[in-house]
Amino acid sequence: MLIKALRIGLGQLIVFLDFITRPRKLKRAPAAQAAVAQVASGLTLYQFHACPFCVKTRRTLHKLNVPVTLRDAKNDDQHRQTLLEQGGKIQVPCLRIEENGQSTWLYESKAIIAYLNERFSAA
């Protein structure tokens, strides 16, 4: 019981610190931002709200100004089941990439952040 309360408290502290130290969004011309939003419409991030690795990934999304759909795999059984059945395991963060009618499931925050930086930092 004490461990669970401590974990919840630390999770909320991580979320709060993320909120007050969040980096500025990348500024783009409206046409360039519309193009980013179009590409990002095929991306979905499965995550837990207070997971430190998920926070790190969301910070990168915020910094790069990439509007990605977020799915709560902890509190939403349907999203959790989708992650397990289609992604293969319940591990977050996990980025679902829909391109050319195919789904790719990218795990590990470092791999997701590298993908996002490569795809959106120069756009």
Domain ranges (residues) in the chain: 2-23+33-120
Q: Over 90: is that where the pLDDT of 73 sits?
A: yes
Cα–Cα dist 65/28, whole Å:
9
- pLDDT (tens digit, 9 = 90+) per residue, 78-112? 999 999 999 999 999 999 999 988 999 999 999 99
Beta carbons of 117 and 111 less than 8 angstroms apart: no
- pLDDT (tens digit, 9 = 90+) per residue, 14-40? 888 888 888 899 999 999 999 999 999
Cα–Cα dist 63/22, whole Å:
8
Helix extents (H) in the chain: 2-20, 30-40, 52-64, 77-82, 109-120
Q: Over 90: is that where the pLDDT of 7 sits?
A: no
Cα–Cα dist 75/68, whole Å:
19
CA atoms within 13 A on the CB side of 16: 6
- Phi–psi pair at 25, nearest 5 degrees: -75, 145
Q: Over 90: is that where the pLDDT of 6 sits?
A: no
Q: Which CATH number fits domain 2-23+33-120: 3.40.30.10, 3.30.43.10, 3.40.50.10420, 3.30.1490.190?
A: 3.40.30.10
pTM of the model: 0.88
Q: Over 90: is that where the pLDDT of 56 sits?
A: yes
